[in-house]
Structure 1
């Protein structure tokens, strides 16, 4: 079999829409998780204090709220200043990780600042602190998100600056982190926890790896958000179940395991449904919506001599295929149509939205070539018919070109 042809890789578009998308996603996740964790913490019978002896000697400097407030400016600036798409993905995922991880701690271990601030006579500063108290929930202590974000801000922005500008950036972010103490908003342990959280984000989200881990990361993110929102809306057990399911899917994508749903002979086992019901049901619902939206279009198409491609078919649609058409199923998320399981059927799953391994591609292309040499027609399908089946069909057509050129020379 000829070597796999290299399909051209196109870099994702990078512009204001992509920047705005990442920024809005981060603000949305922050708003949802922060509010949900505050509501969950308020329901717990006790709130904790992490004050140390060193905290009693910390001064209250009201004017440092100016530095504290600039964290919101940096929150936006890092997305606007990202020089390329990889840098944007890195800073976005580091921020998302810090937000979701911190909010989980806020909900499970709610901590409050130990003592009250003095009454301020200054009109401006008094209004600033009243606004802070109205916006900032009392349970977001350990770890300090301000400090964790400062670590992310520094890692994202300092490579873009040099000389005195880099020094100004470092000094300003240090003052932002310090202001969490001098505004009497956080304790020393909160700051230490924020530093550790920021460093953990830097270690887990490394530059140059984001394109390979996109799907796994966002499933893990959805698991965290589901735990927050589901706990608040659905209750403890349903939230944990949904989050655990999504976390398992994220793990499967991180391991690049296309067999994680344990689909056998075109069907999912009972254990698979128990483990992955929200995931499998979501794909089923999406398939029904796609089928309804494209009800006036053919469910499959001819992609080459003897090769049909498309989405997962209903029984009535499957009868439109040529008789004795051999079926190659690339879909791990949906059970195979009963009408297609009765004939020649092979299940070679590929993960959705993620590049397959070369060994997987070779196995599928070799099987297709063997079936065509025997004169069989093939129906190649994935879940929705948009990506996997079309990609394999293009790859197969390119793999045949060297053979055709040699045979005609």
Structure 2
């Protein structure tokens, strides 16, 4: 039910549920850690040189006000429910980490008097030196920042950024957390945002067991890479613990091939990846971009196939495109180039595209041809985009078979890589289109 255009009553219900749950679960994790005979710490030597700033207890405490207010800035029920799920997930994941991996803050905080001292005393009344990594403060900071910044503009948004930066710094300058708690908190925060997007459903709802052996092999390879990064981070320690970031990134990619599919990347209609996916997958995305540029360094420009349809790699952000339409079939890299018309039909790299996705891409090419020339692209322009163009060639009547389409493509684009599994997918896409009365797609 909404009142005055906002779901006030539902916001109150969520707050009444999550508020007590926050303190009960947080206190439970503290109590369990306090019962242990020894709780370790992960601390760098330089952390003792971080200046203690008593006044930063004010921004530290202020996150509680933002937490309460965040329910009431939501303008729609769907937005409120997604935000509440993020907060609930943040609490569940953080408390699970506190219980499975208890850590202790090891530095002795200086005595503080006055109002700031009183705020510290109130805080220490329920906040013991446990519950360290991930910093729940940082986890909530990410979730709350995403919620508030979408409703603020101009100077108000700038002020939000400045104040939230102070909140983030305060976990260190109040000597409440060690440094490792900050990046782990950021990771968990973005994971909560990624799990409950505002547009579309949760990636977990897209799980489908793949039947293709190639996807399972790729899932195992990425999982092995994730495990290797995690093992190295654990064994070496220190700054090598940053390898936990690529470990998480590769784990998510492994899940994409194991069943989550393109939902992992959360590619939007305008070609951008969601902010959460960009942060979580950044190590993989950087490596994927470098890999694509390396393999296409000798042939960076798209090639004309036939009838105004071009095939190539994802263009650079500053590229000047002369085509009217871009059909982008890359799932893992964002599209940032200016173009009059853009259509995204994301497909997983190295995996065999589904016949449904190929038909969708062929329809997008045909529709784009009515506006002018079309560029069909993926990361390299070798497989996914080539399969999409081959499907369009068959369905538009330019070629009579998948083999003929692949032969035509290879004449002008000799670097394409289409295996027997791609040919079967193209043939199935054409057959299913014909069965649905779509034998030809107008070029």
Query: Normalization by structure 2: what TM-score?
Result: 0.44
Query: Normalization by structure 1: what TM-score?
Result: 0.47
